[in-house]
Amino acid sequence: MGVQGRKVVRMARSQRRGTCVSARALYARPMALRQLYTDAGTVIRKSQQEAAAAADQKNSR
C-alpha cells in the first residue's frame, strides 16, 4: 500500500472514532445547502433576466 493509501485509511479511522453526530446536525447541514443553492439559483435567474432585458433594449434601438 502506498503512502496515499495509508493516509486515506488513517483518515477513515479518525472519522469513525468521532463522537456521535446528532440528528439535528444531520438534518441542518442539507437544509443549509439547500437554502444556499436556492439563493444562488435566484441570483442567477435574476441576472439572466436583467441581461435579457438589457439585450432587448439594445436591440430595440
Per-residue model confidence as pLDDT tens digits over 1-54: 555 666 655 555 555 555 677 888 877 888 889 999 999 999 999 999 999 999
When pLDDT is cut at 50, 70 and 90, the band that residue 57 belongs to is confident
Residues sharing a CB contact under 8 Å with residue 12, sequence separation 6 or more, in sequence order: none
Return the half-sphere exposure (C-beta side, CA atoms, 13 A cut-off) of residue 4: 0
For the entire predicted model, the pTM comes to 0.46
